[in-house]
């Protein structure tokens, strides 16, 4: 069977339907049918044909959903798009193979295998879980509450399950076959899908209606987000370093009127190597002592080793004295902060826009806030996530398991201009808050800076008088009452994902041991 322009058109349509929700999150309903054209066109085809059509869908999804990366690195954009396309290709090829053996299993095996592949993508080659299917539903608060049990992968499973259930109905009518005594099988996918969706929504609504209980170990905390609004083209200009630093100082001084207990500056907001600047050290220490607040800020750290090593770091200044603590980012961005395999392929060093790679920190760290302003007692632990560390469920989960009562993400999305990228990033962070039932505060250089509740609600944001949130130089203070952090997902981890891995394995094994070439769809 040959691929035809019509078949390729269906694959392209699937790619477009999957991409649009990540370009405009109000189009999230399209994700529920985005895979239907691909499933229809690969069913009954040879594995190679199905894989190629899946690759077309994946390429449209990968390149289209991350078009903004081309503004930073063409090489990284090209490689990453091809890499992301491999997952839908593998998935579609697997469906083609299964359809010739046990087509009646596709409706449940396909969402399990898609989820298993998303889980694989989260960790393989350091991992890149950006634009997972479930993230498209970040605004559907009732639905995403199940992430506290299943992680974001449970939402992905439900979205793909609806796709496969719709496709199974269309395939049934397409073949025009109905066997006696098998009507129940035709209705089974729809019945199971409806029950699971209703269960997820019911659970979510119950969570949203329940009152949030403040943690007995912590009191209300006023958190201030500082957003400098400095465009990337000027950010690293040495002649403007003093002006940029003064921008953050001015915004911070203004924010002190709101009596914050914690002030947060974004990633790389400090345009100096702090350890080399005793005057800056003293100035920042005096600022927090005078304001009776903690100050968390991002800056690069240069080690004293020869040759020096560079780290993307976060510093915490305490109002209790003239000292600070540092956390070095442990999960670096490939082709953004380091060049993979440059040791073996030196030419790769010529296709990225920097000279020196960053080094990864050795371990995650929690900062302690002991009696900040506005709090009479108690210690609150901060889990700090730099740049895109907040997209990794496992990394965040370990911080909460370690006692983090508040997550803080400091990042700089100015690289991507006025695109959807800052919102894609923020919506991924929503799931980290829901998964672990913990507040998450995001301070970014140009937006989107916000505070996310343990239920995934945005409870505060940096926004100007015109309603703009990107490239705004401003601040906001949000008072939160930290809740007892942790959930089933925090304790048990990716149990649901491993169940999906197991179902995928069993379905594959079943097709090998009990091949059934009778084509009927249920």
**Does any domain span residue 456?**
yes
- Distance CA(159)–CA(114), nearest Å, equals 10
pLDDT in tens, 377-395: 567 999 999 999 999 999 9
Neighbours of 356 (CB within 10 A): 11
CA–CA dist 386, 327 (Å, integer): 9
| Structural contact between residues 410 and 443, judged by C-beta atoms closer than 8 angstroms | yes
Q: Are residues 74 and 154 in the same domain?
A: yes
Tell me, yes or no, whether 155 and 206 share the same domain.
Answer: yes
DSSP states of 1-41: ----HHHHHHHHHHHHHHHHHHH-GGGGGGGGTTTHHHHHH
Q: Which of the residues 49, 235, 329, 476 is marked catalytic?
A: 329
Model confidence pLDDT, tens digit, residues 53-76: 999 999 999 999 999 999 888 888
Residues 121 and 139: their CA atoms lie apart, in Å, by 23
Strands (E) located in 93-137: none
374 and 475 in a single domain? The answer is: yes
Same-domain status, 393 and 499: no
The two beta strands, 458-461 and 379-386, are unpaired
- Both 305 and 406 in one domain: the answer is yes
Residue 354 lies in a domain: no
Q: What percent of the chain has pLDDT over 90?
A: 70
Assess whether 251 and 135 both reside in one domain: no
273, 322: one domain: yes
In a domain, 355, yes or no: no
Answer yes or no: do 387 and 369 share one domain. yes
Higher pLDDT, 123 or 340: 123
Burial category of 208 from C-beta neighbours within 10 Å (exposed 0-12, middle 13-18, buried 19 and up):
middle
Residue 388 sits in a domain whose CATH number is 3.60.110.10
Question: Domain range spanning residue 411?
Answer: 221-331+363-483
The whole-angstrom separation of Cα 495 and Cα 513 is 27
Of all residues in the chain, what percent carry a pLDDT higher than 70? 89
Spatial distance between the Cα atoms of 296 and 225, rounded to a whole number of angstroms = 10
Selecting among 118, 219, 267, 389, the annotated active-site residue is 267
Asked if the structure places residue 522 within a domain, the reply is: no
Average pLDDT over residues 10-20: 98
Whether 520 is in a domain gets the answer: no
What residues have CB less than 8 Å from 274, skipping those under 6 apart?
A: 280, 281, 299, 301, 315, 324
Q: Is 255 found in the same domain as 117? A: no
The pLDDT of residue 324 is 86
**Cα separation of 434 and 439, whole Å?**
9
What pLDDT shows up at residue 360? Answer: 85
Residue 346 lies in a domain: no
Active site residue 329: yes
pLDDT tens, position by position, 198-238: 999 999 999 999 887 766 666 789 999 999 999 988 887 88
Q: Is 121 in the same domain as 267?
A: no
CB-based contacts of 236: which residues, under 8 Å, 6+ apart?
271
Looking at the fold, whether 460 and 508 belong to one and the same domain comes out as no
Do 467 and 500 fall within a single domain? Answer: no
Asked if residue 459 belongs to a domain, the reply is yes
Count of domains forming the chain? 2
Question: Of 12-26, 263-277, 349-363, 459-473, which gets the smallest average pLDDT?
Answer: 349-363
For residue 460, give the H/E element and its range: strand 458-461
Q: Is the pLDDT of residue 342 over 90?
A: no
267 catalytic? Reply is yes
Task: Identify whether 34 is part of a domain.
Answer: yes
């Amino acid at each position: 069977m040959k691929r035809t322009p019509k078949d390729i058109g269906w694959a392209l349509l699937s790619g477009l339907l999957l991409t649009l929700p990540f370009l405009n999150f109000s189009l999230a309903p399209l994700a529920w049918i985005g895979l239907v054209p691909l499933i229809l066109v690969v069913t009954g085809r040879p594995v190679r044909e199905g894989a190629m059509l899946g690759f077309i869908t994946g390429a449209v999804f990968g390149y289209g959903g991350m078009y903004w990366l081309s503004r930073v690195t063409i090489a990284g954009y090209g490689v990453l798009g091809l890499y992301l396309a491999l997952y839908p290709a593998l998935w579609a090829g697997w469906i083609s193979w299964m359809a010739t053996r046990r087509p009646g299993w596709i409706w449940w095996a396909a969402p399990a295998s898609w989820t298993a592949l998303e889980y694989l993508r989260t960790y393989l080659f350091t991992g890149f879980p950006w634009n997972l299917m479930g993230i498209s539903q970040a605004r559907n608060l009732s639905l995403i509450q199940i992430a506290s049990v299943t992680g974001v992968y449970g939402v992905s499973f439900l979205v793909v399950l609806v796709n496969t259930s719709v496709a199974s109905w269309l395939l049934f009518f397409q073949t025009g076959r109905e066997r006696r005594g098998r009507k129940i099988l035709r209705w089974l996918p729809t019945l199971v899908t409806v029950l699971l969706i209703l269960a997820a929504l019911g659970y979510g609504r119950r969570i949203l209606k329940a009152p949030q209980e403040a943690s007995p170990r912590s009191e209300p905390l006023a958190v201030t987000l500082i957003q400098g609004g400095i465009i990337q083209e000027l950010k690293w200009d040495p002649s403007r370093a003093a002006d940029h630093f003064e921008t953050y100082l001015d915004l911070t001084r203004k924010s002190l009127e709101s009596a914050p207990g914690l002030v947060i500056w974004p990633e790389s907001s400090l345009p100096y190597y702090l350890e080399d600047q005793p005057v800056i050290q003293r100035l920042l220490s005096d600022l927090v002592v005078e304001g009776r607040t903690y100050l968390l800020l991002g800056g690069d750290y240069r080690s004293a080793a020869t040759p020096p090593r560079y780290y993307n770091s976060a510093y915490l200044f305490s109002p209790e004295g003239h000292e600070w603590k540092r956390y070095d980012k442990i999960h670096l961005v490939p082709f953004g902060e380091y060049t993979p395999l440059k040791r073996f392929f030196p030419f790769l060093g010529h296709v990225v826009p920097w000279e020196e790679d960053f080094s990864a920190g050795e371990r995650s760290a929690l900062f302690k806030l002991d009696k900040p302003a506005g709090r009479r007692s108690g210690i609150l632990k901060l889990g700090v996530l730099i740049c895109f560390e907040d997209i990794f469920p496992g990394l965040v989960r370990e911080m909460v398991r370690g006692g983090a009562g508040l997550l803080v993400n400091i990042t700089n999305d100015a690289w991507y201009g006025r695109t959807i990228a800052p919102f894609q990033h923020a919506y991924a962070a929503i799931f980290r808050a829901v998964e672990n039932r913990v507040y998450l505060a995001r301070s970014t250089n140009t937006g989107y800076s916000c505070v996310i509740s343990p239920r995934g609600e945005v409870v505060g944001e940096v926004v100007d008088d015109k309603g703009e949130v990107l490239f705004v130089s401003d601040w906001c203070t949000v008072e939160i009452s930290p809740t007892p952090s942790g959930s089933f997902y925090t304790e048990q981890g990716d149990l649901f994902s491993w169940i999906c891995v197991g179902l995928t394995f069993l379905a594959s094994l079943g097709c090998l041991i009990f091949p059934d070439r009778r084509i009927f769809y249920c």
